[in-house]
Every structure is written in structure tokens, then in C-alpha cells.
Amino acid sequence: MQIQSLNLKTTTTDQLISQLKQGLPADKFDQLRSKLNVSDNALSKIVQISRRTLDRRRITGRLATDESERIVQVAQVYDMAVDVFGNPQKAERWLKKPARGLGGKIPLEYSDTHLGAQEVITLLGRIMHGVFPG
């Protein structure tokens, strides 16, 4: 299992779960923020990490398990969008604009919950297969 945008390479889901339980390095937040081209505040809101907590995590060097899961969740959405649209710039644009398939909601913001992220991934799968316009 690979999470391209975070440079996480694991061969099994168990390995990824183990990494999540240990907590990802705090710099994975910054790595994802850079890929998405959003502010600290914007990504903090999406992954539900307060600025004060983020500052503490940067000092300790590790994210908590739940924070790590949310970072991976958004990274998976981003990676799928890059696969579907062919390049990071197109993926980033699509993730930041209202999507008809989400009732006019913005895919990146909709990815702030597990169910929302799954809906975005489902929509991206439909777009990839020509079943539903974005």
C-alpha cells in the first residue's frame, strides 16, 4: 500500500496501521499542505487539528494516531484525484471547486470526515470510468 503524496511505502495494510498507531512524523502535515497548496489553517480545519495542537506536534515530532489517520485520509483523496486528472495542478483545482456530484460541495472540504472522503473517492472513481461528470 502506497500513499504517494506522503512518501509512505508499506507492503501491507498492517504495516500502514502500525505506522498510524505510532503516529506519523509531524512533517507529513506540512508535506500534504504543500501538495494541496493550502494554508496551515485550511488543512488544520480539514484534518481537525487545532493550531495549538499542531504547534505542539511539530515540537514533539509526531502526530497522534487519529490525526495521522485523517492526514492519510486526505492524502488518499489527493492521490486519487492526481490519478484521475493526470497531474497535481488539475487535481488541486478540482479538489477546491464545488463538485456537482457532491451537491455543489467542495471535495477537499467534504473530505473532513471519513464518510465524506469516501464519497469523494467514489465520485473520482465514477469520473475515472466516465460514469458521472465532476
For the segment 8-51, what is each residue's pLDDT rounded down to a tens digit? 988 899 999 999 999 999 999 999 999 999 999 999 999 999 99
Q: Classify each residue of 107-117 as buried b or exposed e, where b means 16 or more C-beta atoms within 10 Å of its C-beta.
A: bbbbbeeeebb
Distinct helix (H) and strand (E) counts, the chain: 8, 2
Cα 75 to Cα 78, 103, 118, 131: the distances in Å are 5, 22, 12, 24
* Global pTM value: 0.94
Query: Is 71 in contact with 105 (CB distance < 8 Å)?
Result: no
Q: How confident is the model at residue 133 (pLDDT cuts 50, 70, 90)?
A: low
Percent of the chain with pLDDT over 90: 93
Query: Is 68 in contact with 20 (CB distance < 8 Å)?
Result: yes
Q: What is the pLDDT of residues 73-84, one digit of tens each?
A: 999 999 999 999
Contacts of 56 (CB under 8 A, 6+ apart): none
Q: What size, in residues, is the chain?
A: 134
